[in-house]
Amino acid sequence: MAESFEGDVNLTPQLQLAIRMLQGNHGEMLEWIQEALRSNPALRWRQPVTVATADAEVRLGETGELSLTLADEGELSVVASADDSERRTAEWLVSAAARRRRSIERLMEALMAHQRAFLSGQEAAPEELSHRVVAAELGYHASTIERLLQGKCLRILRPGASPIEIEIASLAGTD
């Protein structure tokens, strides 16, 4: 039986988890993966090599190029010997985690293109940018962009400067 997540909408546990994954930051994602592992013996997880404090990192190279690194969330896979029902649920979760990561990567690449002057240190503050503009570019709904941005931290690394940590939402915070 599906539980009520918000208002009168009934969502399956898988959809609830997917929404939580979109809304969560890197640390929360790791907690949800561990929770899913406890409840589904068909999942296997390679833990992150290092535990990140930021969800993403943008590095300015010596020649002015920007590079993006997302936090390592480990790697989910499906145990081949699991029964069909557990395997289907595990496959769904692995797919949802991969979609989430691709969505965050696409969003960050779009933000890097729009906010290049700020990220490279040429401007002191990000330019005004609407969730709707980014959503239209990526083919997402504006609320999806808001959920992807919510509570996530970006570390900016520039040669010869101290690292800067900001909320990613500050790069696209107007509507």
Q: What is the pLDDT of residues 11-56, one digit of tens each?
A: 566 666 666 665 666 667 767 777 777 777 777 766 655 556 788 9
What pLDDT does residue 35 have? 76
Strand order in the sheet with 153-157: 66-70, 56-60, 153-157, 164-167
What pLDDT does residue 1 have? 35
φ, ψ for residue 52, nearest 5 deg? -90, 150
CA 15, chain centre distance (Å): 16
Residues 142 and 121: their CA atoms lie apart, in Å, by 28
CA angle 63, 68, 74 (to 5 degrees): 145
Question: Per the structure block, which two tokens stand in for 157?
Answer: 């690394």
What are 134-148's pLDDT values in tens digits? 999 999 999 999 988
What pLDDT does residue 38 have? 73
**Number of alpha carbons in the 13 Å side-chain half-sphere of residue 110:** 23
Contacts of 165 (CB under 8 A, 6+ apart): 53, 54, 153, 154, 155, 156
What are 45-97's pLDDT values in tens digits? 666 555 567 889 999 999 999 999 988 767 778 888 888 888 888 888 888 88
If residue 136 lies in a helix (H) or strand (E), which one and from where to where?
Answer: helix 131-138
If residue 156 lies in a helix (H) or strand (E), which one and from where to where?
Answer: strand 153-157
SS3 sequence of 16-50:
HHHHHHHHCCHHHHHHHHHHHHHHCCCEEEECCCC
Residues 143 and 140: their CA atoms lie apart, in Å, by 8
